[in-house]
Amino acid sequence: MKCLIYQFLYLINFDRLVDFVLQARTRVRLIRYKKNGVSIGYVSQGGHELMVAGDLSKFEIHPTSQLKSDTFIEASGGVKIGRHFHVGRGLTIFSSSHDFRNSKKIPYDEVVILQPVEIGDFVWCGANVTILPGVVVGEGAIVGAAAVLTKDVPPLAIVGGNPANIIGERDRALFEKYKRENAFN
């Protein structure tokens, strides 16, 4: 019995150690990003992984915006995130792709196509959203969980699905009222 208690205590401490190491690794990565000129305002401390790959100088996020754990951003083509952006866990953004249409090899060749991604102010994305190269998400849009954005999202649109489609629209008058009154998170 004593042996089981010690094993249980060891596992608890081991899990805490793993969490501490993973969170420390994320903090170190954020410091490295900032030293390389990446503008990062706030990253929640609840998770373990945040990765920005590619050309870090082409990644920009407003200080009032946030990212959550399990985020992967490929920034080679440029990624710009506006003010007061909120997102659930598991965001994935790609700003480059391969040329498979005119390639000289299969499934694709060495040509990389760079297409910037832009996310407007006051955008809210659910968990596990994927945004593909060249997509512009308009101001005030809401993106449902697990949506895959393959084309631009108009301002104030509510989208969901794979591929994402417009399923509704925010109340424009109410949105503008709150914006004028600075009533936002």
Q: What is the pTM of this model?
A: 0.77
Residue 176 forms part of a structural domain: yes
Q: What is the mean pLDDT of residues 41-63?
A: 72
Q: Rounded to the nearest 5°, which phi and psi values hold at 82?
A: -80, -160
| pLDDT tens string 101-148 | 888 888 888 889 999 999 999 999 999 999 999 999 999 999 999 999
CATH code (residue 164): 2.160.10.10
Residues of the chain with pLDDT > 70, as a percent, come to 74
Residue 47 forms part of a structural domain: yes
Residue 45 forms part of a structural domain: yes
Q: What is the mean pLDDT of residues 50-70?
A: 86
Residues of the chain with pLDDT > 90, as a percent, come to 55
Residue 140 forms part of a structural domain: yes
Residue 185 forms part of a structural domain: no
| pLDDT tens string 6-42 | 555 555 655 565 556 656 666 666 666 666 555 454 4
Per-residue model confidence (pLDDT) at position 172:
97
Number of domains forming the structure of the chain: 1
Residue 122 forms part of a structural domain: yes
Per-residue model confidence (pLDDT) at position 8:
58
Range of the domain at 160: 2-180
The whole-angstrom separation of Cα 96 and Cα 74 is: 7
Closest CA to 59 of 41, 77, 71: 77
The whole-angstrom separation of Cα 117 and Cα 115 is: 7
Catalytic residues: 98
Residue 137 forms part of a structural domain: yes
| Residue 45 predicted with pLDDT over 50 | no
Categorise residue 86: left if φ over 0, alpha if ψ from -120 to 50, beta otherwise.
beta
